[in-house]
Homo-oligomer: A and B are copies of this chain.
Amino acid sequence: MRFVIDPKSGIPFYRQIIDQIQFAIGDSRLCGGDRLPTVRQLAVDLKINPNTVARAYQELEIKGVLNTQMGTGTFIGNEKIEIPELERRRMLNQICTELLSRAAAYGLTLDEVRDALAERAGEGRA
Q: Which residues of A contact B (CB under 8 A)?
A: 2-4, 6, 9-11, 15, 18-20, 22-27, 29, 63, 80-81, 83, 88-89, 91-93, 95-114, 116-118, 120-121, 124, 126
Q: How far is the CA of A116 from the CA of B90 in the complex (A)?
A: 10
Min Cβ gap A106→B in Å is 4
Q: Find out whether the CB atom of A109 lies under 8 angstroms from the CB atom of B81.
A: no
Q: Find out whether the CB atom of B121 lies under 8 angstroms from the CB atom of A95.
A: no
Q: How far is the CA of A10 from the CA of B97 in the complex (A)?
A: 14
Q: Find out whether the CB atom of A117 lies under 8 angstroms from the CB atom of B121.
A: no
The residues of B that contact A9 with a CB separation of less than 8 Å are: 102
Min Cβ gap A1→B in Å is 9
Selected from B93, B101, B107, the residue in CB contact (under 8 A) with A116 is B93
Q: Would you give 23 A-B contacts (Cβ < 8 Å), ordered by A?
A: A2-B105, A4-B105, A9-B102, A10-B11, A19-B106, A20-B105, A23-B100, A25-B104, A26-B104, A26-B108, A83-B106, A83-B107, A91-B103, A95-B102, A96-B116, A96-B120, A99-B117, A100-B117, A100-B126, A110-B124, A113-B117, A114-B114, A117-B117
